[in-house]
Amino acid sequence: MNDHIRQQVRNIMKERGITQQQLADLTGIQRPNVTRLLSGTSGQVPDNWQRILDALELDLITSPKPEDQR
């Protein structure tokens, strides 16, 4: 996951008052792994990211990058 998505997830968690432990409980992902996903040290686990997005009731929407960012 890219940094923008990680930041959006952290912002939603803050807005809703959800801790990393609560997110771990909601998703069934161990808290240290939640920490790694949110910090960017682990992000190659799409199933875990989908569980996080589901727990926060978020959709991942993709769009083409602007030409100057390709």
pLDDT tens for each residue of 34-53: 999 899 887 665 778 888 88
* Domain CATH for 13: 1.10.260.40
55-68 as b/e: b if 16+ CB within 10 A: bbeeeeeeeeeeee
What's residue 69's pLDDT?
82
**Structurally, how many domains does the chain consist of?**
1
Domain presence at residue 31: yes
- Identify whether 33 is part of a domain: yes
Q: Supply the angle between the helices 31-39 and 3-16 in degrees, to the nearest 10.
A: 130
Q: What confidence category does residue 55 fall into, taking pLDDT thresholds of 50, 70 and 90?
A: very high
